[in-house]
Amino acid sequence: MTYRPALDGLRAVAVVSVMLFHLDKELLPGGITGVDIFFVISGYLITSIVIMDFDQEKFSFARFYQRRISRIFPLFFLVSITILAATAILYHPYDFASVGTSVAAAAVSLANMLFVMLPDDFDELPFAHYWSLSIEEQYYLIFPLILFLADRYRASRKSLSIFLSIAALLSFIACIVLTEVDSGWAFFLLPTRAWELLAGCILAVLPFSSKGDDGSSVSNDKIDGLLASAGLVMIIASQFLIHDDVGFPGWVVAFPVLGAVLVIGRPRESRNGITERLLSHPVAVLIGKASYSLYLWHWPVYAIVDYALYTMHDSSLIVLKIALTVTLSFASYNWFEKPVRSLLNRPEKRRLSYLVFSAGTVVMLVAGYSARKAEVAFNDHKGASRLVLAGGSNGLRYGLVKDEIVGERSVNRHVPGVSDHDPLPDAKSFKE
């Protein structure tokens, strides 16, 4: 597959928008749509590679998943274990237990299913951004099988594109309907997000062609350039115009998704317009190449800095967050992500990918589960009274509101880390 620098530039637009959104929603209220752009790019690139393998009769599920593992999981494990260790040191046990739960869910690509069940304040967790990775991994457990069956039964590109288009339409309708019912479920579920990945897949199945059947040109460079520019404008405008009050994700996500489709889906011969050149700028390409590292590191860094240094001035926090994110991201990209991916993609080392995946998953599950089951104890004031709150989830809930119960008195709070039914329906508190 021919390398196209502008796609890395589009990745840069996506990751910078997400980073700014998480830095301060007022900076870019619709910056979260960068994730939607990532979905379209992913669908396009992965499908293009798989179709090329089928055309060359060298597709295998083992090779497909080996490439996914070498691309995604080494850095994923590094960031996860590093952040888990940092939160073990810096976080209170109760908060660390929540971190452990999210790590365990992310290890098996179910972070999105966990977060849809949690209260609205889950986004304070360092791994809250892993929901999008879980959606992609769930999608790619299914989609290669569809392409495999299409190839096995000799389905035409036209038939396959019709099938994918129907699936995308149904997913889009489900997204709109469920957003009205429960936007959280619409945001996190694969069935309501699949249409964004499918949009990129359809581009790969039926790429635009600048030549007709007789070899004559059916493409106009100016029109193609205008369409690509319109797509980029739609993407940028969406980041400023979309906000929490418009019903997100819903139908409004169609604008950044369509924008990404217009930018990506240009005939090869007309990829020399201003939008293509802008997105191919060396700085944009550099950021785009490191976009996965930037995405993985940025939110944990933001969350931990806010948690540990909450008394620091806002402007200083912003500078520190950006500096740490950029430093960690480019260091890990150059000294870990690239070398490890190159190593694992060597023919003689490919089996090592599965060992890395298995070991990393086990470590994350064990570490996450251990953190989740730890007792939750707050403070250790010698000689102070101890406030014990019993009652499962009720105990956990009231364990965070000590001031409302005991006022200014110094106490030690203790919430046993057990999973049980509420033994005290009224959540009575006892002081010893």
Q: What is the pLDDT of residues 312-333, one digit of tens each?
A: 888 899 999 999 999 999 999 9
Q: Please tell me the predicted confidence (pLDDT) of residue 316.
A: 92
**pLDDT tens profile 186-221:** 999 999 999 999 999 999 998 655 555 554 444 567
Least confidently predicted of 163-167, 173-177, 363-367:
363-367
Given this model, what pLDDT does residue 92 score?
A: 84
Per-residue model confidence (pLDDT) at position 423? 45
* Predicted confidence (pLDDT) per residue in 259-273, tens digit: 999 999 876 655 678
The strand order across the sheet containing 429-431 reads 376-378, 411-415, 385-389, 429-431
Distance CA 69, CA 81 (A): 17
pLDDT surpasses 50 at 406 = no
Q: Which helix (H) or strand (E) holds 34?
A: helix 34-55
**Number of residues that make up the chain:** 432
Residue 285 confidence (pLDDT): 98
Q: What is the pLDDT at residue 217?
A: 46
Query: What local confidence, expressed as pLDDT, does residue 203 receive?
Result: 94
Residues in Cβ contact with 179 at an 8 Å cutoff, skipping those fewer than 6 apart: 186, 192, 247, 248, 249, 250, 251
Under 8 Å CB-to-CB from 405, ≥6 apart: which residues?
A: 387, 398, 429
List Cα–Cα distances, 378 to 94, 302, 305, 347, 406, in angstroms.
Answer: 8, 23, 20, 51, 14
Please determine, for residue 397, whether its predicted confidence score (pLDDT) is greater than 70. Answer: no
pLDDT-based confidence at residue 54 (cuts at 50, 70, 90):
very high
Lowest mean pLDDT among 207-221, 294-308, 352-366: 207-221
How much is the average pLDDT of 303-313?
90
pLDDT at 95: 84
* Residue whose C-alpha is closest to residue 47's, from 206, 253, 228: 206
* Token pair in block for residue 192: 């309501």
Q: Radius of gyration (Cα) for the chain, nearest Å?
A: 24
* Global pTM value: 0.85
The whole-chain average pLDDT of the chain stands at 85
Residue-wise pLDDT tens digits, 278-298: 999 999 999 999 999 999 999
Residue type, 132: S
- In the prediction, which pLDDT does 97 show? 85
The pLDDT score that the predictor gives to residue 220 is 63
Q: What is the pLDDT of residues 229-255, one digit of tens each?
A: 999 999 999 999 998 778 899 999 999
pLDDT above 70 (res 85): yes
User: Percentage of residues in the chain with pLDDT exceeding 70?
Assistant: 80
The pLDDT tens digits of the residues spanning 128-168 come to 999 999 999 999 999 999 999 999 999 999 999 999 999 99
Average pLDDT over residues 46-70: 93
